[in-house]
Structure 1
Amino acid sequence: MTKVNYIEASGKVYSVEAEAGISAMEAAVKNAVPGIDGDCGGAAACATCHVYVDDEWIGKTGPAQDGLEKSMLEFAEDVRETSRLACQISLTPALDGLVLKLPEKQH
């Protein structure tokens, strides 16, 4: 299991345990983490799972990928260097303890 910590803009933390191989978006939706909608079901077609990867973790997750992910982030609010779509972050044992910060708003 991989632990993921989702932090709301207010500072409230939601820690969930998820199976390796699913996306950070799926883990959030399955555990009712508010602020991660995943309206498209993980197809990188809506940007309602926009997150900020904590600076200490961006080296392990990597930046947003060119193509579909970066294109969808253009529709998100307050995009930053560490912005990712949670549906494009596949959880692995190496990401145990991952910290993802949630934007104030999702579209």
Structure 2
Amino acid sequence: MIKITYVTADGTEQPVEVEPGMSLMEVATLRGIEGIVAECGGGCSCATCHVYVDEAWQQTFEEPAPEEADLIEFLDEAKPTSRLSCQLVLRAEHDGLCVRTPASQG
């Protein structure tokens, strides 16, 4: 099991423990994490699972695919640490990961 902490826009921390192999979006929807809508269910087509990955963890994930980068480019609240949580698959090395949700999705 690995521990992941989601921090909502209002600063509320929501720690969860999960098995590696799930995406951050899957975990969020299964655990009822506020701030992740995931309208497309993980198809990388809606950007309603936008999160900010703490800088220290950015390099533990692969670079965004062109489809993800295109969606992020058009988000009002995009930052250099923006990612779509449906594209971030958790591995054992992500134990302790912290991600933040934006004030709004979509």
Single out whichever of 33-42 and 70-79 deviates more from structure 2: 70-79
- Give the distance between the partners of 1:55 and 1:62, measured in 2 at CA: 14
Instruction: List aligned pairs for 1:31-46, cutoff 5 A.
Output: 31-46=31-46
* Percent sequence identity over aligned pairs: 41
**Which residue does 1:29 correspond to in 2?**
29
Letter in 2 for 1:11: G
Q: Which has the higher helix share?
A: 2
Contact 1:47–1:75 (Cα < 8 Å) also in 2: no
- Give the distance between the partners of 2:76 and 2:32, measured in 1 at CA: 22
**Which residue does 1:86 correspond to in 2?**
85
**Which residue does 1:71 correspond to in 2?**
70
TM-score (norm 2): 0.93
TM-score (norm 1): 0.92
Aligned residues: 106
Moved over 4 A (4+): none
Structure 2 residue 80 is matched with structure 1 residue 100: no
- Give the distance between the partners of 2:78 and 2:62, measured in 1 at CA: 16
Deviations 1:31-58 (A, max 9, x none): 0001111111101000000000011211
Letter in 2 for 1:8: T
Structure 2, gaps ≥5 residues long:
none
- Give the distance between the partners of 2:20 and 2:46, measured in 1 at CA: 24
Structure 1, gaps ≥5 residues long:
none
Contact 1:44–1:69 (Cα < 8 Å) also in 2: yes
Structure 2 residue 11 is matched with structure 1 residue 11: yes
Letter in 2 for 1:58: Q
- Give the distance between the partners of 1:92 and 1:71, measured in 2 at CA: 25
